[in-house]
């Protein structure tokens, strides 16, 4: 929080600012946390309610918005879906405006799958975090229960694993 306040001050907003943000019923569970966090920073949010289809269409036109996205179990799919391809939550990926990011993306995409590509993906992830590409609040862990003799294999990015990941042990 101290670093966020410092950055706001450095940007010329030592007392925060006011902002309009869209809100959809699907994201209302996160609204109290957003209000609390922004409030501590002096950011006053005016929420504008809309249905989810309208939210997906209009959220990118706001300066800030909430989105809940999941990582894919395949790192390359996550790279494509969340970094390099236009999506409703990232309409202008702008990778080309960050030469160090573009260079790492190119290296990752050209690398053979395996340890070398994984190492490059980790470097890219570190760079994206350093640049605050997203404001990630948390990554949820799922807990699964089963009866004796049944094994459930958690899959990153899947709330509920498909039947092929629920097997007799």
**Domain coordinates in residue numbering, the chain:** 1-68, 74-132, 139-169
Mean pLDDT of the chain: 89
Direct distance between the N- and C-terminal alpha carbons of the chain, in angstroms, rounded to an integer? 46
pLDDT > 70 in the chain, percent: 93
Summarize the confidence of residues 146-150 as an average pLDDT: 90
Residue 158's contacts (CB-CB under 8 Å, 6 or more residues apart) are 70, 73
**pLDDT at 136 exceeding the cut of 80:** no
Q: At what angle do helices 115-130 and 99-110 cross, to 10 degrees?
A: 160
Element (H, E) at 35: helix 31-40
Element (H, E) at 105: helix 99-110
**pLDDT at 44 exceeding the cut of 90:** yes
**pLDDT at 129 exceeding the cut of 90:** no
Please state whether the predicted TM-score (pTM) of the whole model is above 0.85. no
Q: Residue 157 — very low, low, confident or very high, per pLDDT cuts 50/70/90?
A: low
């Amino acid at each position: 929080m101290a670093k966020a306040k410092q950055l706001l001050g450095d940007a010329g907003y030592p007392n925060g600012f006011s902002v309009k943000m869209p809100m959809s019923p699907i994201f209302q569970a996160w609204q109290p946390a957003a209000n609390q966090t922004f409030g501590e920073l002096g950011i006053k949010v005016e929420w504008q309610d809309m249905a989810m289809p309208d939210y997906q269409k209009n959220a990118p036109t706001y300066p800030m918005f909430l989105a809940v996205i999941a990582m894919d179990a395949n790192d390359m799919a996550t790279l494509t879906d969340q970094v390099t391809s236009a999506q409703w939550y990232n309409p202008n990926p702008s990778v080309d405006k960050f030469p160090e990011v573009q260079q790492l993306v190119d290296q990752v995409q050209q690398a053979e799958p395996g340890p070398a590509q994984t190492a490059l993906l980790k470097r890219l992830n570190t760079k994206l975090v350093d640049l605050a590409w997203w404001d990630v609040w948390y990554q949820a862990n799922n807990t699964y229960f089963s009866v004796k003799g049944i094994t459930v294999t958690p899959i990153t990015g899947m709330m509920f694993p498909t039947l092929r990941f629920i097997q007799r042990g």
